[in-house]
Amino acid sequence: MHGKNTLRIMFLGGVGEIGKNMMALEYGRDIIIIDCGATFPYGDDMPGIDLVVPDITYLVQNKDRIRGMLITHGHEDHIGAIPYVIGDINCPIYGSRLALALIQNKLKEFPKLKAKLITVKPRDIVNLGAFSVEFINVCHSIAGSFAMAIKCPAGMMVHTGDFKIDYTPINNDYTDLERFAELGKQGVMLLTSESTNVEREGHSMSERKVGATLDELFAKYSDDRIFVATFASNVYRLQQLLDLAEKYHRKVAFTGRSMVNVTETAYKIGEIKFNRDNFIDIDRLNNFPDKEILVISTGSQGEPMSALTRMANDDFQKIKLGEHDCIIISASPIPGNEKMVNNVINRLYEHNCHIIYNDLADVHASGHAYREELKLIHNLVKPKFFMPVHGEFRHQKLHKDLAMSMGEQERNIVLPQIGDVIEVSRNGIKKAGTIPAGQRYVDGLGYGDPESIVLRDRKQLSEDGVAVVVLGLNSVTGEITSGPDIISRGLIYSNEAEDLIKEAKQTIVDSINSQPEKQTDFSIVKNDVKRVLGNFLYRKIKRRPMILTIVIEN
Ligand SMILES: [Zn+2]
Ligand SMILES: [Zn+2]
């Protein structure tokens, strides 16, 4: 058992990366989970893979101790893995009305799954074993977003979730700064804060400014058909567009499956409001003059099958673009998507239509805090210990520097990585080993089903090769008795391999020797070797070979 009054935090995703956010908090016998996100594989990184979700081996092994899953908000990187996880750990899920409605939507595609969903409101408190969790309203690019104040006998932790500070938000959805300040006064042991925009100086733009820019564009292009591509989940943006449609007497057509789904869902629970009579089916556009039409579509990321991309490629039967069309891309490319978005913009220019995107006008505002907003939260919460999360390593590092520039102590800041277990008590914070963690893939053939794994293995072998690690370990002390030896095929030309393999071996040895306690559970050692070597090879040669570890006990 771990020290009394120690909170253990386990990172299953969302650190060292932007995507698949998930962490678990453990105090005594009780475990709670925060978020359960997925990542979409971008570009050519993972052929044939549709979705990447966290490895939850540790949670499955300890599922009897899990008291609940708490959802910060309904973005895919926070809820996308739920259908692939909840069947194995079966715990109640707490979240805002919109987040739960979006989860419900997902679960509909998995009729066998049963999940207990419990709606919470800002400032509600939920007791889960030794934990009590308070939900705090924050402003973000989706309604129903929460920060959380989590109390247990070890102390209080504040987790920001994704947030920005918008002094003129839509629907009065303010970040509850008053509550952050009160908690700061009570004494916060640990802050975990998102880091997405730590590279950006100053303050993020208000969502209302986007509305004003869109209004100007609607006035300027008053005779044209207007198309707006945006994120389906940004209900504030959608609300502003619907209000403009009303103001400028335009009918609205939605296109794109997620756009239709999310707007229906948000409408049903009252998160967006509009007059249903103003809606038309996309098939009926030709019955109306150009100046009476607004089309809201998906495709702001240049996704190949989206309505916008197909229109740009002249591949969308219902709509042909021309000089009387104004196209607004009300989003910014997610890193990795720039090329696809630029391709679409280039194609759109070929149609002689008017094109407005983020480089030309303020048609998008980020939902994530810039530096001055991050500083304000540090200032109000005044944490003793701090961990930057929701960012790649460079974001975490810059966020650490930011905290130190505000007087926080270096020894009180930890940059967690996937699989890390962090122990924190009033006396200190430290890394305390690892748990199995990493990526699991969902492909077109399903998840965890054996045939799909065979196909995946073949793909991995053909694309990235294989590395076999042979390692002798003392079964009592856990010390290395022989090796590691690494045999590889299809991974790298043999004349370059020698130095790389030498370095890889040393990385494995260092990792095993750096464990605070020698590990004699060899399944954990195997997982560690796989993770360490996998990360090393990806860093060095951008490949993800299949890694097999053979441990010889002696
Ligand atoms: Zn988000
Ligand atoms: Zn996020």
**How far, in Å, from the CA of 366 to the mean position of ligand 2?**
12
Residues within 5 Å of ion ligand 2, judged at the Cβ atom? 77, 162
Least Cα distance to 103 among 232, 303, 234, 262 occurs for 262
pLDDT at 472: 85
- Distance, CA of 419 to CA of 278 (rounded, Å): 50
Q: In total, how many domains does the chain have? A: 3
**How far, in Å, from the CA of 196 to the mean position of ligand 2?**
8
- Same domain (yes/no): 484, 520: yes
Residue type for position 399: H
Three-state SS at 319: coil
Is residue 514 assigned to a domain? yes
- Distance, CA of 422 to CA of 419 (rounded, Å): 10
Is residue 453 assigned to a domain? no
Out of 322, 356, 390, pick the residue that ends a domain.
356
Find the CATH number of the domain harbouring 543.
3.10.20.580
Ligand nearest the Cα atom of residue 234 = 1
**Domain coverage including residue 407:** 7-202+366-439
550, 510 in Cβ contact below 8 A? no
**How far, in Å, from the CA of 160 to the mean position of ligand 1?**
11
CB neighbour list of residue 190: distance below 8 Å, 6 or more residues apart? 7, 155, 156, 157, 158, 383, 384, 385, 386, 387, 424, 429
- Same domain (yes/no): 29, 176: yes
pLDDT at 445: 46
Which residues of the chain, if any, have pLDDT below 70?
Answer: 1-3, 42-49, 443-456, 458, 493-496, 518-520
- Same domain (yes/no): 243, 287: yes
**How far, in Å, from the CA of 57 to the mean position of ligand 2?**
23
Out of 326, 356, 386, pick the residue that ends a domain.
356
Is residue 448 assigned to a domain? no
**How far, in Å, from the CA of 333 to the mean position of ligand 2?**
15
- Same domain (yes/no): 11, 78: yes
- Distance, CA of 373 to CA of 203 (rounded, Å): 6
Write the CA distances from 266 to 70, 98, 99, 476, integer angstroms. 20, 7, 10, 58
Out of 301, 322, 356, pick the residue that ends a domain.
356
- Same domain (yes/no): 198, 213: no
pLDDT at 448: 47
- Same domain (yes/no): 286, 381: no
**How far, in Å, from the CA of 241 to the mean position of ligand 2?**
24
Least Cα distance to 464 among 49, 16, 159, 119 occurs for 49
**How far, in Å, from the CA of 74 to the mean position of ligand 1?**
7
Is residue 446 assigned to a domain? no
pLDDT at 241: 97
- Same domain (yes/no): 53, 192: yes
Residues in the chain: 554
pLDDT at 529: 86
- Same domain (yes/no): 315, 394: no
pLDDT at 360: 93
Write the CA distances from 502 to 175, 481, 483, 508, integer angstroms. 51, 17, 11, 10
- Same domain (yes/no): 119, 169: yes
Helices (H), 187-234: 207-220
- Same domain (yes/no): 226, 351: yes
pLDDT at 10: 98
- Same domain (yes/no): 64, 77: yes
Task: Provide the 8-state DSSP code for 203.
Answer: -
- Distance, CA of 37 to CA of 75 (rounded, Å): 8
68, 91 in Cβ contact below 8 A? yes
**What are the beta bridge partners of residue 8?**
26, 423
pLDDT at 3: 62
Write the CA distances from 214 to 204, 232, 360, 450, 531, integer angstroms. 18, 17, 12, 50, 47
Name the strand (E) or helix (H) holding 60.
helix 57-61
**How far, in Å, from the CA of 549 to the mean position of ligand 2?**
34
Ligand nearest the Cα atom of residue 38 = 2
pLDDT at 485: 86
**How far, in Å, from the CA of 449 to the mean position of ligand 1?**
30
- Same domain (yes/no): 63, 186: yes
Half-sphere exposure of 385 (CA within 13 A, CB side): 24
Is residue 458 assigned to a domain? no
Ligand nearest the Cα atom of residue 142 = 1
Find the CATH number of the domain harbouring 259.
3.40.50.10710
